[in-house]
Amino acid sequence: MTGKKPGPAAGAGLQVPRMMGRHSPAQAGKKPSAQRGGAGAAHTSVRLDRLLAREGLGSRSEVKKAVRAGKAVVNGIPERDPGRQVFPSDEVFFDGKKVGQETFVYYMLHKPAGVLTATRDRHAQTVLDLLRETGPAPVLRQGLFPVGRLDRDTEGLLLITDDGQLAHALLSPKKHVDKTYYALVTGRVTEEEIRRFSEGIRVPGEGGDEAFTAMPAKLQTDTAAAFADLLPADPGQFVPGKITEYTQTLVTIQEGRFHQVRRMFSATGKKVLYLKRLSMGPLRLDPGLAPGEYRPLTNKETELLIALAGSRSGGVLNEKESL
């Protein structure tokens, strides 16, 4: 849609065990590998002594000693090697008790403009501050982080979780996860620009990120249909007085380079006046969330995300809602 001025007008949901009952498809047929840190840590193998220490069952040296003394059982068989790699599918007992399953949690935040996409910052309010300090049930859980980065001025859907592997899958361009943005831009968007976006537009370097050719992206000027309930009622409010013409667009990309959408438009000589993320894979911003508000994902949303990441299935804890 092109316009001329003045314009036309908490608690945690589904928790997913860190140690699941089955191997992920990605692991099927693969040789056991040592655990990687960070993203992916939950789905690869981990040393037995590390797992036990992580579960708070003693220091590394204490649990090593205990394992050597025969206190660990893996899949029904006593295991005396503290270096044994265990997988999410393995059943581990220690000192007669089943080793507990930690869980992942997932929140949808409607990020407001002006808040930093970071866990902590000395000077500015961060998206994690919003979870810790606002809402009916502040979220004090450790280890949460935002999945991907929205610029300080960008609003919209932000997923916050402690599931590193899921985050990695959602952000990896190889997974081709669609991220759709509403972008209000200066000037009139042309068919030529739509074609350039769809073919992969060349984006100049900016802020330390070098020039790159973007993956094919979908640029639409018909914004009304799919996301009508998430669009600003009065786009003109974001348009400075000196701008005489603007276009409302939807942009769908599958990667997340620094200032990606702004830079893609900049490559066509346009400036983004307002940017809001509307969806990410199967997740769509809840229109009931005002900027700054958040809620746990529903079971259905969590399951869809996990299916998309191709990482896990089954073993759901605390399932209060039906799918």
Residues that bind ligand URA (CB under 6 A): 150-151, 154, 259-262, 275
Q: Evaluate whether 73 touches 96 at the Cβ level (below 8 Å).
A: no
Q: In terms of CB distance, is 248 or 260 closer to ligand URA?
A: 260
b vs e for 59-95, b when ≥16 Cβ sit within 10 Å of the residue's Cβ? Answer: eeeebbebbeeebbbbeeeebeebebbbbbebebbbe
CB of residue 128 to ligand URA, shortest distance in Å = 17
In the complex with ligand URA, the residue whose CB is nearer, 66 or 251, is 251
Give min distance, CB of 162 to ligand URA, in A: 22
Least distance to ligand URA, CB of residue 114, Å: 13
Structural contact between residues 201 and 264, judged by C-beta atoms closer than 8 angstroms: yes
| Catalytic residue (one of 81, 129, 151, 286) | 151
Instruction: Give 151: exposed, middle or buried? Use CB within 10 Å, 0-12, 13-18, 19+.
Output: middle
3-state secondary structure of 67: helix
Nearer to ligand URA, 131 or 157 (CB): 157
Nearest distance from C-beta of residue 154 to ligand URA, angstroms: 3
Distance (Å, rounded) from C-alpha 32 to C-alpha 107? 32
The angle that helices 164-171 and 299-309 make with each other, rounded to 10 degrees, is 70
**Which H helix or E strand runs over 158?**
strand 155-161
Specify whether 151 is catalytic: yes
Nearest distance from C-beta of residue 190 to ligand URA, angstroms:
20
Task: Look at residues 16, 277, 31 and name the one whose alpha carbon lies nearest to residue 159.
Answer: 277
CA 203 to chain centre: 24
Tokens of 198: 């769809």
Q: Which is nearer to ligand URA, 22 or 259 (CB)?
A: 259
**Strands 155-161, 202-203: pairing kind:** unpaired
- Pick 189 or 261: Cβ nearer ligand URA: 261
The C-alpha atoms of residue 39 and residue 42 are separated, in whole angstroms, by 8
State which residue, 102 or 151, has the beta carbon closest to ligand URA: 151
- What CA–CA distance (Å, rounded) separates 27 from 87? 10
Least distance from ligand URA to the Cβ atom of residue 291, Å: 14
Q: How far is CA 68 from the centre of its chain?
A: 40
Q: Catalytic residue positions?
A: 151
